[in-house]
Every structure is written in C-alpha cells, then in structure tokens.
Amino acid sequence: DAKTTQPPSMDCAEGRAANLPCNHSTISGNEYVYWYRQIHSQGPQYIIHGLKNNETNEMASLIITEDRKSSTLILPHATLRDTAVYYCIVRVEGGADGLTFGKGTHLIIQP
C-alpha cells in the first residue's frame, strides 16, 4: 500500500469547516483513499473512502485531486466531538490485508 503524509496536528474553530490534507503521491491506480478517525481511548471509526471522484456522506466530504496524489477530508461544521486523530490510508481495492496506519493528524476543535 502507498505511503501517506499528514500534518501532525491542526486546530479548527467550532462551527467552521475543518479541512484535513493528505499527500499520497505514490498511489497506484487501483488504490482507494480511506479516512478513519480515533477519538481518545476508542477504536478507530470509518469515515469515508473514494477512488477518484469526490465523495460525500453524512459525516464528511472527500475531495481527491485529479492526479490522485493528494486528498482533503472536509468536516463541514466541526463540533467539539470531532476532536480526534484522523488517519488517511490508501489501500488496494478488495485488499484483505490489515490497514496501514501512520500517525495521523490530531484535529483539535476549539470552542
């Protein structure tokens, strides 16, 4: 699986959009971009994933650049409960192996 690079930490004001970047310049054509988050002392939680088109669900939006070398996770109206470590992971379609987590981005939502 390709390697990802994320900033170690970010702040965002409550109610504003939180934009979390991820670089995956060595991504292969059959690799998806997945985002998970981990709230303190809990297991990771799936957020969203995509291949090349932008994706949106009830939790977030995922914007993938046309060359697929980077992506941005957008939490449209951040709340204090969104404070967590966010992990960007690339993974082969249908891959059955474990996920490869980096250190992620610690997002802190400020009141």
Partner 1 sequence: DTGVSQDPRHKITKRGQNVTFRCDPISEHNRLYWYRQTLGQGPEFLTYFQNEAQLEKSRLLSDRFSAERPKGSFSTLEIQRTEQGDSAMYLCASSFPSGQETQYFGPGTRLLVL
The residues that touch partner 1, with contacts defined as CB under 8 A, are: 32, 34, 41-46, 49, 85, 87, 93-104
Token output for 73: 């996770």
Complex with partner 1: residue 103 or 111, whichever CB lies closer: 103
Q: Which is nearer to partner 1, 31 or 82 (CB)?
A: 31
Distances (CA, A) of 37 to 75, 80, 88: 12, 14, 9
Which residues, in sequence order, are CB contacts of 98 under 8 Å at separation 6+? Answer: none
Closer to partner 1 by Cβ: residue 40 or 111: 40
Least distance (Å) between residue 94 CB and partner 1:
5
Quote the CA–CA distance of 87 and 37 in Å, as a whole number. Answer: 6
Beta carbon nearer to partner 1, 7 or 15: 7
Other beta carbons less than 10 A from residue 94's beta carbon: 7
Least CB distance to partner 1 at residue 111 (A): 25
Q: How far is the CB of 87 from partner 1 (least distance, A)?
A: 6
